[in-house]
Amino acid sequence: MSAHELATVAKAMVAPGKGILAADESTGTIAKRFAGIKVENTEENRRAYRDMLFTAKGVSQAISGVILYDETLRQKSADGTPFAELLAKNGILPGIKVDAGAKELAFCAGETVTEGLDGLAKRCAEYVKLGAKFAKWRAVITIGRDIPSSTCIAANAHALARYAAICQAAGLVPIVEPEVLMDGDHTIERCEEVTEWTLNAVYEALYLNRVTLEHSVLKPSMVISGKGCARQAGVDEVAERTVRILKRTVPAAVAGIVFLSGGQSDELATAHLNAMNRMFAGNLPWPLSFSYGRALQQPCLKAWRGSASNVPAAQAALLHRSRMNSLATLGKYQAGLEKQGLAA
């Protein structure tokens, strides 16, 4: 893609009222999801499940793009249409997860670095031919006793920047995802400190690697209390602290910000996003949207349970959560809509 095309795709990914569906679970990760609904983790079941997600009528009204796994990008819908082509026909951008997962970081106990740079340029060229328009790479930052270390922050920032540069050179818009995990008993203040540190390091690395920010999208975690923290911050506090850090660290040139849900409940992830857009509407240089996986899919999975007869109910569940989050991108979500089951 040309620079103009990359900019067009990046803007389309964060179009008003739309967000991204993360359906890029690895074979191992989706095995855990399937185990929860007692569905065998076979290639056909994985294909059928993704087919159900992608063929839900009306989903393109709230979803701008879908992140796929390598296997999924090569699969087809029940009618023989390749998934990338199916999504594109429905006005949804196909994306691809390109990292090889977080691995132990040498001499840094309890910390990881994401691998997958070897051969990435070649893989990206193939993904472009298969129809992908954007890519995703996730870095993992853990908060704990004496961690994160500067070594971990620097290693992951560098890997994210190299990935982003390689993607842009190949014609893919990179989603840059530095996730500060909510696992642990740390306070929201500690999360805020680590998130600011991480994002500053990431954008310095992106600059050094000559990444064009207008052709990129950031996928950060929200600033929230650790799961085990005695004081769980309220919705408005999370919104205030998250936006404060973004304003301090993320250049205005970035095309947009799409949050990960990071283990939050479906409704809480929606409420946090809504609060940010309600409180700061019109006062931010970039749109704030979503790139949720579990927070969009969990109700759908429970409704589906591997049965073709449950597909309509499962698709309705996906549409509902997508619409709730669409409203949240506009600051118009209300908890009462959950009980109605309608985005009216």
Catalytic sites, residue numbers: 177, 219
How far, in whole angstroms, is CA 257 from its chain's centroid? 10
Q: How far is 339 from 203, CA to CA, in rounded Å?
A: 41
Q: How far is 298 from 303, CA to CA, in rounded Å?
A: 9
* Two tokens, residue 13: 């990914």
Task: Write the single-letter amino acid at 344.
Answer: A
Give the number of C-alpha atoms closer than 13 A to the C-alpha of residue 56, restricted to the C-beta side. 30
Q: How far is 316 from 218, CA to CA, in rounded Å?
A: 29
For residue 178, give the nearest of 210, 137, 150, 239 by alpha carbon. 137
Quick check: bond before 148 cis, omega within 30?
yes
Task: Write the single-letter amino acid at 31.
Answer: A
